Homo-oligomer: A and B are copies of this chain.
Amino acid sequence: MTASTERRIEDVNVIVSGQGGDGSLTVSTILADLLRQRGLNVYTERDVLSRIKGGVAVAGLRASRDVRFGRGDHVELVVSFDLEGIEKMVTQLAPDAVVVYDDSDVPMPAGLLPANVRLFAAPFARLAVRKLGRILYKNSIAVALATRSLGIADDDVRHGFEQRFNRLGPAILGQNLQALDLGFELAEEMGLSAGHDTVEQDGRPEGQLQITGNQAAALGFIAGGGRFFAGYPITPATEILESLEGWLPDFGGVVWQAEDELASVNMAIGAALAGVRAMTSTSGPGIALMQEGIGHAGSAEIPLVVVDCQRGGPSTGLPTKPEQSDLNMMAFGGNGDFPRIVLNPGDPGDCFELTVEALNLAERFQCPVYLALDQALSQNLATIAPFDLDAVTVDRGKRLSAEQLASMSEYRRYAFSDDGVSAYSVAGTPGGMSLVTGNERDEFGRVSTSPENRARMVEKRAQKIESARADLPRGRRTGDPGATLGLIGVGSAYGVLLEAMEELEAGGVSTRLLQPRTVFPVLDETLEFITSCERVYVVEHNATGQLAGIIAQGGGDTKRMRKVLRYDGLPLRPGDIAREIIERESL
């Protein structure tokens, strides 16, 4: 992209950087709205420190004709209110990028920006104070330069301001419009004149959703019949708790902020015993605390859905940064052997669908089901097709009604069966009184140490996972079916890999992709995908290749697997991945 408005915008990455809490991030929201109105798909990324005020806060925004689930490799436009933001970005700038910079405090150092980058610097903050009496208006001045550089018609921007600021009263709207005009004047002076509007108009079908993975999972929970949610605030999972607080009561459900994660997981277990579909969500530290409770649900055969919005670890780690480093804990954590399922959505649509599916699987197989998100998938806002609500089903598995119970001569809560699944009744159902325990037990739920019973119970629980296999969500595949090079990735890696594949293709490397939506147990389709390729790059956001390790334990051919890892707290980027693979392939 250049600052000229002669070209149609197909794909633009914008970065807005300022001091946290100074309002500069609304610049990116305004630009996102305008670009969305022009028919582009918008994806926004947050990069905030785990602190409240002060410190650099960066918002990333991508507007593209194609649906994208990630930022691109290059930044075409930077709007920055501090130098640090530009310094951080300088290596990512597109060759012909535009930089809009507030030099009120620090002038742009000579030589910082590459030669072809066009700089539009002015003291926005000082102008805002001097001319409009309030520093806040610096943001609206900057918007003008940004929209000019993007080729959005001035009137469209004015119209957008009216929509946005109307509810704040005419005074504030007026001031912001003045600031905008000040900005247009500045632009004019700098040779950034108003062009005709050339932004795509036909990129995006009507009615697309603009939604994060967390919001989609919360919506999926409600759609799938979830009616009890307990959680404890933690980044980047809090939005699930907060969204459901707003929504679930209208559906007759209860949301509870518990005193800690031990309470929230055990409250969900209690609710499940009373027959209500229950879920909790947290991030790595909370999942670590929940390990005993999750294993208990696996032992005692209690349906439970647990969302892990993964973030940079270990320990408190990098609370606001993406990572996929709890996969091992989900697949192998907890004491003893117990059945569990780990589902891995790749985009918000998947988050919705797999949450519904998790609720069904949890009740059908009476075991814990993890939903593994990651910070980028949880918190970034993507444009996506509306969810297929007609496809939502609710399957409560072998749940016994009072009538069924009345017709049975005997009811054994943990009865042995071919598929390992026993019929269950929930508290309140006449005739279904039963014992549930995390100790080893006989069919009636009475604590038992009999070796014969023990062995059968262990096998029964393991059998459930075998029985579930046929129904576990299948992965998504794309790419050249004849390619000998495979790619595997989950969570936010999915969208990034889609784009990396294009770059690989452009670089002459043809690939195909599997996004396993069930990571544990490892499905045959994953093993077969690997053996059908000569080499498979498993792309993950962690330092040790946890996904590759899980697949290896599940029988994946390690000779064909290669690890592509990132663990510096930055989101995965398609260019980096493509570059690494091309390099390794050409060795």
- Measuring CB to CB, which residues of chain A are less than 8 angstroms from any residue of chain B? 49-50, 283-285, 287-289, 291-292, 295-296, 298-300, 310, 312-321, 323, 325-326, 328-329, 331-338, 437-440, 449, 451-452, 454-455, 458-459, 462, 542-544, 546, 549, 552-553, 555, 558, 567-570
Which chain B residue shows the least CB distance to A339? B314
Find the residue from A326, A335, A553 having the highest chain B CB count within 10 A: A335
Are A335 and B568 within 8 A (Cβ)?
Answer: no
Are A454 and B567 within 8 A (Cβ)?
Answer: yes
Are B335 and A313 within 8 A (Cβ)?
Answer: yes
Are A317 and B332 within 8 A (Cβ)?
Answer: no
Are B326 and A336 within 8 A (Cβ)?
Answer: yes
Question: So how many copies of this chain end up in the complex?
Answer: 2
**Chain B contacts of A326 at CB under 8 A?**
335-336
Which chain B residue shows the least CB distance to A308? B335
For the complex, what is the distance from the CA of A459 to the CA of B300, rounded to whole Å?
40
Are A333 and B328 within 8 A (Cβ)?
Answer: yes
**Chain B contacts of A289 at CB under 8 A?**
289, 291-292
Instruction: Given the known inter-chain contacts A299-B315, A567-B455, please indicate yes or no for A449 contacting B49, CB distance below 8 A.
Output: yes
Are B543 and A553 within 8 A (Cβ)?
Answer: no
Which chain B residue shows the least CB distance to A56? B449
For the complex, what is the distance from the CA of A544 to the CA of B549, rounded to whole Å?
16
Q: Of B325, B555, B570, which one neighbours A337 at CB under 8 angstroms?
A: B325
Are A319 and B454 within 8 A (Cβ)?
Answer: no
Known: A288-B334, A298-B314. 14 other contacts (CB 8 A): A284-B336, A288-B335, A289-B291, A296-B314, A299-B313, A300-B315, A314-B336, A314-B438, A329-B332, A329-B334, A331-B332, A336-B542, A451-B570, A454-B569
**Chain B contacts of A323 at CB under 8 A?**
336
A to B CB contacts below 8 Å, 10 in the list = A288-B292, A292-B315, A298-B314, A315-B335, A316-B438, A323-B336, A328-B332, A332-B333, A337-B544, A553-B553
**Chain B contacts of A331 at CB under 8 A?**
332
**Chain B contacts of A462 at CB under 8 A?**
543-544
